[in-house]
A and B are shown apart, each in its own frame.
Chain A
């Protein structure tokens, strides 16, 4: 079964707006990762946040982690048409550190 589940499944916004995607998971994690997948391409790593961290930034990306709620959010500020892609969260659990993926959020940014 999949550990992380993203919400919403699909998101459509205008260029310049902020995009927020959420990820919920079921069991304790070592870390949580966010990836982007452009159509027809492989997944590209965006940010990794460890279980003892609460917030991380990378450029226009901001990730938060709430372990008490078993949830994470990815915020893309000032979105661009080039941000159009699917975004996945992946969790590492237990001692194996094997990333398990959710189904992803499909983001469309209209120019």
Chain B
């Protein structure tokens, strides 16, 4: 497997524009996480899915942020409209955790560096 794949790797956009970040998790993994990393706040969990269902989105900062997982192999994180303070590195991670295999590691993508000017 190629690991967790995120696109794009870098995104520069103007304030007010819509931004869509994409993630392909590892095949067979049933958890998918979206994290945001900044110098000020470190790594923050934004939302996570279990079996394509959003379980906890309490980390999503505002209604401008939304995430979907239409199927087991694809997820998107959308920011509309984007603001300069959204500038950060956004990571997607996936994990297999089920039954007796709950103590497992998460696998991270390379991240998307978002700059909103």
A interface, CB within 8 angstroms of B: 2, 30-31, 33, 35, 41-45, 48, 50, 88, 90, 92, 96-104
Contact = CB atoms under 8 A, between A and B. Distances in A.
A99 B106 contact: yes
Interface of B: 4, 31, 33, 35, 42-43, 45, 48, 55-56, 91, 93, 97, 102-111
A30 B105 contact: no
Nearest to A6: B42
B43 A88 contact: yes
Nearest to A2: B42
B42 A92 contact: no
B43 A92 contact: no
17 contacts: A35-B108, A41-B110, A42-B110, A42-B111, A43-B108, A45-B107, A48-B103, A50-B103, A92-B103, A96-B55, A97-B103, A98-B56, A101-B35, A101-B42, A101-B43, A103-B42, A104-B42
Nearest to A95: B102
Nearest to A47: B105
Question: Which among A42, A50, A88, A99 has the highest number of chain B CB atoms within 10 Å?
Answer: A42
B102 A45 contact: no
Contacts of A104: 42-43
A11 B107 CA distance: 26
Nearest to A51: B103
B42 A102 contact: yes
A67 B42 CA distance: 24
